[in-house]
Structure 1
Amino acid sequence: MMMMMMKVSELVLVLSCVLCVSADVFHEDLAIGGCSDTDGEDMYSLDGEEKWYADFINKRGVEPQPSFMDHTSYREGTYEQAVTNQQICRSNLKNSRLGMKDIPVENDPPSGLIVYSRDEVELGVKNTLICHVSGFYPAPVNVSWTKNEQKVTEGTSINVPFPLKDGSFRQTSRLEFIPQLGDVYTCTVRHPALNQPLTRIWDVEVQQPSIGPAVFCGVGLTVGLLGVAAGTFFLIKGNECS
């Protein structure tokens, strides 16, 4: 099934979506290619997980699959084909602008922005902050990080925009960091549909283990044992007197 999405004249996206059936299990295989004057995207995914995308800046294909997954490799020449697709896309974009010059631009601002840590926070232990943006159109968004009000670029990364079923996009930026008590981080998102940037604050907090239940449990157990001992003592004394 081929579907053309042209909500604005600045961006043309072609989506190819195939539903594969194996026994009683449905899988969604998605390919997306897109371009603008300055950006381009060519990506494949399975069940919402990115399997391969073209990195046009470093001129290579990327397989962002974690090590614990069954690795899928794409055939040689996939990146070169993505470059060719970009040339075709820009040619189509030029023709589309001629035919859509009077169509107003539609922009949808992000509807969701959350920041969270990948793992449970432990002071001094390397972790990853995740800034998840969703519900925006067109793609991409611009994401920036700060630590204690100082801009941070080292250790940051961002995935390619991922299309949602309503025609909007989601995108995720990551920041590798080492938690230290008192540090404050921010994730700021910029998009053409926003009058001002969106910012979320995340500060390092470590939950201390609660000792209350253990203390009360210990006190209760001690009182209970004392009660049993006292009862046994008086029972023995009563039997001796009789």
Structure 2
Amino acid sequence: CLITFTLLKERNNFSAQIDELLNEITQLKSQLAAKNAAESTMKDDLKLLLNERKHLRAQLKDLGVDLEKTGSEFKRKNAALEAEKKQLSNALDELQRKLENEKMATSVAIQRVKDDYAVITLDVDAFFARGSARLNQSIFSVLDKIADSLEKSPTRRISVEGHTDNLPIRSSSLVKIYPSNWELSAARASSAVRYLLETNKGLSPKRLLAIGLGEYHPIADNDTPEGRKRNRRIEIKLLPEGL
């Protein structure tokens, strides 16, 4: 009986060990399956990363080409802009010399606001009769010289702006034509624009604006005769493209 009891006890212990080993095997199988799944996921992730790297390299290559094109285009446009500025400067220098040679510099002023923006101011009293928008013949040669300069800066927009002093129009006959300084300043600007277009076929009408600003943008004191004379003017503005 003692032997039988001992054998039974050993068998039970052996069965317990077998169960324990089976549990360990099951756990190892689970761990192995999890490891295999993780490796499979890692392989998939690695494949995705490699594909993404491939796409990124292609995008970087395209971006490099685009940046090169953009840089070249910027350099080209900047060079063209600098050439236009130089062209404008040369044209204004030439205009100034012509005006000085013909003793017209006192009636025409050239102001270079920026290297790509200039204003040519005409003394209205020298080129228009008082209260009139009809051009005197003395302005024809001036406008011709200005037109030559404008044609040498073909990308510039040209704003021709009429200005008056603050004295109202009192003549009954003139009031019928120009009820206020608005109409007079606009008519004078339009007369200058018409002459530029009719006698200089190289100018495109699309480049020109005729604007009447009346008495509302003075550059001097309207309380003195000298100030009012300065305010009676035509401004021809050479504007850069896009302004």
With the length of structure 1 as denominator, give the TM-score of the two structures: 0.20
Structure with bigger strand share is 1
Please say which structure displays the higher CA radius of gyration.
2
With the length of structure 2 as denominator, give the TM-score of the two structures: 0.20
RCO higher in 1 or 2 (8 Å CA, sep ≥ 6)?
A: 2
